Structure 1
Amino acid sequence: MSLHSDSEAENELLFWIKLSTIPRLGIKGLQKILLHDSLSSLSRYTPGEWLHLGLKPEQVQYLTSGANKAAEACLKWRNRSENRFILPYYAPDYPALLKETVGAPPLLFVLGNTEVLSLPQIAIVGSRAASHPGRQDAWHFANEFVSHGLVVTSGLAIGIDGHAHDGALKGGGQTVAVLGTGLDHIYPSRHRQLAQRMIESGGALVSEFCPAAPPKPKNFPRRNRIISGMSVGVVVIEAAEKSGSLITAKYAAEQNRDVFVIPGSIHQAGYRGSNQLIRSGASLVLNPRQVMEEVGTLSSWTIDQKKNQQSELFPPFNVDKELPFAELLANVGVEATPVDILATRTNIPVHEVMRQLLDLELSGHVVAVAGGYIRKGRG
């Protein structure tokens, strides 16, 4: 998506916020809408045209009335401080790993350092009512992870989450908290000071909910998919049979992330969920090094460095030779990208994207793999 001026970018962001807050639409619905027209053109659509695109009457009513107030409130929140950001799905600094997951949030609100979201992250989750050994494990694992260059991501809850954040900070590292509330409501309130320490240490608070959104029970399971989606792996510490951590582990498995579990006694109810995860195929780990051996040596490279390493495996094409379907090819990387994502990024209809991909595959420029297409080096 090309943004030709600051004012145009601001107008597009404002309209994207309006679309993103339409009830029961989601990223898939937004992607389908963007197949039809650009954001700037869509902003001029009439109610009748929106109905023709498939929006329900109540959604059109919201878009033409309440959406404007909600979007302006979001921008007002951002403008109150230099360390407040709104990352739309199409932004280059939107977390790359999260973008590739099903159901990625259309918007992310960030308080703190957005650059930390592009660094390799490892999630640590577990019980709010954790035992003393469980809290110690969370602190120790997080402390060790940051000493090897990983960012620790969790949910700011009491128990395992809080101790993981604290362990990362005490280790001199960065940590990210994903909230189930708007960023105007730090929850639980007892962790406001912890949240401030995270921001001051180069970390960030992240939420998909508009800043004024209050705590609601249904929102906390939703935030778990962001915790796992931004991370290369999830470490589960002390999860009971019906723990929210099991939801995070489920999302992680669906997102093709590694799940690591510290085992516990069969006589402790707080570890029954953890032990069941191991029975279901999660990796049993006894120390941080075992986790790092599984996810790879991530101690010194960032996402950008990773791309540089991968570019050596997939050499660039001869720049003297004109590339076929250059716009589409520029959006195919070394990680599998689905057809609908490519269509959204390029504003090319799905049927045309599929035709171009077939030609690119036959000419040796791309390869079809599970989950989409990857770029193929030649020469």
Structure 2
Amino acid sequence: MRTYKVALVGTGGIAAIHADNLSRAKDRVELVAACDVDEARLAAFSDEHGIVGRYQDLTQLLAEAKPDIVHLCTPPMLHIDQAIECLEAGVHVLSEKPPALSLADFDRLNTAQAVGGTQFSCVFQHRFGDASAAAQALIGGSDFGRPLVARCDTLWYRPDSYFELPWRGSWKAEGGGPTMGHGIHQFDLLLHLLGPWTEVTAIASRQARATSTEDLSVALVRFENGAVATLINSLLSPRETSDIRIDCEFATIELSHLYGYSTDNWTLTPAPGHESTVANAWSGQPLERGSGHSAQFLAMYDALDAGKPLPAGADSARQTLELAAAIYASAFTGVPVRRGDIVPGHPFYAGMDGAGLGTRVLDETALSVPSPV
């Protein structure tokens, strides 16, 4: 197994999670460099995590530290340009979500990957727990049967003070509200479990938070396999949970957690007459490892060792980003959106606000909503 040289770009809160999880990978990784425009923050972070290479410029880092992989832990509006620079320099990229603020920007990755002979992956760590792998293997099979009905809720709470950072709650910096920045993890897992989506009908509104984006979206999604799911993405929910429920022909499988899960967070309910079959199918799967960044990091190194495509790579990350775009497009136009509808020339291809349509709709809605206290 090869030891990979890794650099962290951005040294804020999420970078600390990356550094802590990289330390668990032991001899699979060497954390060789960090980069941040804030010199004091860079120094404090590097001292804490024992990082020798310290840079305030990404181009210089790539030239001098020569990492194999760069982890992008910067604000969302920086992800795509930084990813392209790394890929073209021959460095693999693992980017925090969202991978880009629009499908137009995301599609620039194809050329960059080809130029550098490198790969892009997005941090969708919920895919990588043992239980999600077991669920993916069993849903649609003979033991669980076809998936029929599902729900996927990201019910989180963010007070007004959360948006004091100037890049939060804006279309230009985050690309959207909880649909893009919060619920995307959970509905990415839903897509991982159920497969390709085909059509979405949605609403979005600004209920209470002083942002330019939505603070709530609700969607009805149909999948290629015939399953139908509801999705709620909220920043207005004092009792925070992240929930997925999938009703198959012979079993209901549920996940309830907040920011990560273990096997204990999953619940199975067999249909009458299928108790032993469902229980045996589940217990026959490896169910030790929970979700988390370290699980995705190790899966990435294994793929590189084997010369295989990276998990959560560009193609599957695009499907998730396309669903986010479709939720906004349906919410702000009032019509269903099918997968593949949002192409170059479509108003929601270049931005999640539909060339300003989303902002106008939310502003009109807000006229009837009391101002935030």
Do Structure 1 and Structure 2 share a fold, with TM-score over 0.5? no
**Which one has a larger percent helix, Structure 1 or Structure 2?**
1
TM-score normalised by the chain length of structure 1:
0.26
TM-score normalised by the chain length of structure 2:
0.26
Give 1 or 2 for the bigger CA radius of gyration: 1
Higher relative contact order (CA 8 A, sep 6+): 2
